[in-house]
Amino acid sequence: MNSGNHFVWEYQPNLSSDSRPLPIDASKHTTEEKLSFVPQILALEEVPAFLPDDIQPSERLPMSIGGIGIDQIRADFPILKRTVDGNPLIYFDNAATTQRPVQVINRISYYYLHENANVHRSGHTLARCSSSQFEAAREKVSAFIGAAPNEIVFTRGATESINLCAQAYVKQLLNPGDEIILTLLEHHSNIVPWQVIAEEKGAHLRVATVDQTGQIDMAEYAKLFNNRTRFASFTYVSNALGTVLPAQEMIAIAHQNGVSVLIDAAQAVSHIPINVYELDVDFLAFSGHKCLGPTGIGVLYGKSALMNAARPYQVGGSMIADVTFERTFFHKSPQKFEAGTPNIVGAVGLAAALNYLTDIGMDNIAAYEHKLIEYATDTLSTVPGLRFVGMPTRRVGALSFVLDSHSNDNVAEFLAGIGIGVRAGHHCAQPIMRHFGLEATVRPSFAFYNTFREVAKMGEALRYYSKPL
């Protein structure tokens, strides 16, 4: 939440344009009293998980993904069993980070218990084992996104991957007056790295706008390209609105103009299948922790020819072929970009996470989540005073809303009080917030281990909260 380190229950008058009485009025009730209102909301098990009986069975909401029961899947995520102040945890902050299944947690322990050693150095048993697990992880990542292993660089996360691409490849292409094309939907991590190199080189950012639904205006997008354009980057899925961008079409436009493209796939990778060759994308970045893997590990995919043309981003051990005090020869990519001891266990844990997703099937996950987010949109649209921010036709992962007469922080704190974790704030995407005349929204964000019952409970809680007492 965007409210510092303390709970913010206070009503913020500047955010309310409406004089309706607040359902929970901070000026009249203590925190304990406010929490005592909460039991009026149905317990999770009482909330109807399914549509009413008159709905055709084929339209009923699913309880399994790819033939695996949702309860069985949830049992793999130990943290989902915990309670928050006596309420079952409902975790709707998956865009910030996902939870980890026991398969990932156990894989990390196993590595430290049985395989730990540094990589690409020594020849003893543990070192060989660790190196082969690290390289097997690279193979798993490459297979997951349809790439070749030597096109995968391990980084700390999507942010570092984007910085690497900007500093190592794009910066050397720029001259004063050149342009880089972004979109209004970008996370700050896909704005600032480009801004910094543009400033350094006297280049400029051009920004594709969106319509009121939060979708890119494609006719305008094509017009942004000209003979000064040197690079384009865009998010596959907006972390603030959930918009899925028409990646293939946008990449084709860039390529027709002779420009390479990076896709920020941080919010796409755990929700929809990705194939870099089908997309024909030049670079792609994502973080392990947003797809069930550990924190501190991420991926930069880059076409071999481009990666080999890029300059090393950081230099030191492991990335060199030969060093004298007079000169150094670097390895080819990917080693050229992995200076120092890498996050070995992070890569191994990420491979376990991607194995888990592969076993369920990304198509199955996408189909289930599609229904879940449609159900969430339908459910929340019945909440009095709730206004969606952005209504894209293709959406995954997240949705954003504001509630009349209530600050975003208060809504999130109310939900937190009954065990429902959502994010309120600008979601590190201030340009798109401000495009809609806002500084912040409430953002529930979903994963395949969330249930229709949990969504129904959030809807019911918000209906309750939005009603005057």
Ligand X SMILES: Cc1ncc(COP(=O)(O)O)c(C=O)c1O
Binding footprint of ligand X on the chain (CB under 6 A) = 157-159, 187, 189-190, 235, 239, 264, 266-267, 287, 428
Q: With respect to ligand X, which residue has the nearer C-beta, 230 or 427?
A: 427
List, in order, residues 6 or more apart from 118 with CB less than 8 Å away.
127, 130, 341, 344
- Active-site residue 428, yes or no? yes
* 68/65 Cα distance (integer angstroms): 5
Q: CB of residue 426 vs ligand X: minimum separation in angstroms?
A: 12
Q: Whose Cβ is closer to ligand X: residue 266's or residue 300's? A: 266
Cα–Cα distance measured from residue 43 to residue 453, given in angstroms and rounded to the nearest whole number: 10
Q: Which is nearer to ligand X, 130 or 287 (CB)?
A: 287
The string of DSSP letters for 379-436 reads HHTTSTTEEES---SSB-SB--EEETTS-HHHHHHHHHHTTEE-EEE-TT-HHHHHHT
SS3 68: strand
CB of 288 to ligand X, least distance (A): 8
**Residue 96: how many CA atoms within 13 Å on its side-chain side?**
15
Comparison of 189 and 379: residue with beta carbon closer to ligand X? 189
SS3 per-residue string spanning 203-260:
CEEEEECECCCCCECHHHHHHHCCCCEEEEEEECECCCCCEECCHHHHHHHHHHCCCE
Q: How far is the CB of 350 from ligand X (least distance, A)?
A: 12
Q: How far is the CB of 179 from ligand X (least distance, A)?
A: 21
Residues 6+ apart with CB under 8 A from 80: 74, 89, 91, 99, 449
Q: Which of 129, 165, 291, 428 is catalytic?
A: 428
Q: Which two tokens stand for residue 138?
A: 């690279």
Q: Between residues 183 and 189, which has the closer beta carbon with respect to ligand X?
A: 189
Cis peptide before 334 (omega within 30 of 0): yes
- Nearest approach in angstroms of CB 239 to ligand X is 3
- Smallest gap from Cβ 155 to ligand X, in A, equals 9
Least gap, CB of 444 to ligand X (angstroms): 15
**How many C-beta atoms lie closer than 10 Å to residue 30's C-beta?**
10
Smaller CB separation from ligand X, 236 or 414: 236
* Residues with Cβ within 8 Å of residue 384, at least 6 apart in sequence: 404, 463, 466, 467
CA dist 317 → 314, 327, 337, 457 (Å): 10, 14, 11, 53
Rg (CA), the chain: 24
Of residues 101 and 293, the one with the C-beta less far from ligand X: 293
Q: Which residues are catalytic?
A: 428
